[in-house]
Amino acid sequence: GMILKNGRIAATESVEEIHRQGKTIEEFYREKVEKEA
């Protein structure tokens, strides 16, 4: 799945994958932003 520029997850499989990794959507997105900064 893709993450849109507004921070919303486009595909539900992405949400499920993030939760399998033990992260919330907010944590995942924050890490992504920090890596790209």
Tens of pLDDT, residue by residue over 1-37, are 556 666 665 556 677 777 777 777 788 788 888 888 7
Q: What is the 3-state secondary structure (H, E, C) of the chain?
A: CCECCCCCECCHHHHHHHHHCCCCHHHHHHHHHHHHC
**Model pLDDT, residue 9:** 54
CA pseudo-torsion sign 21, 4, 32, 30: negative
**Model pLDDT, residue 22:** 78
- The CA distance from 2 to 11, in Å, is 7
Backbone angles phi, psi at 23, to 5 degrees: -115, 155
**Model pLDDT, residue 13:** 62
pTM of the model: 0.36
**Model pLDDT, residue 16:** 75
**Model pLDDT, residue 2:** 59
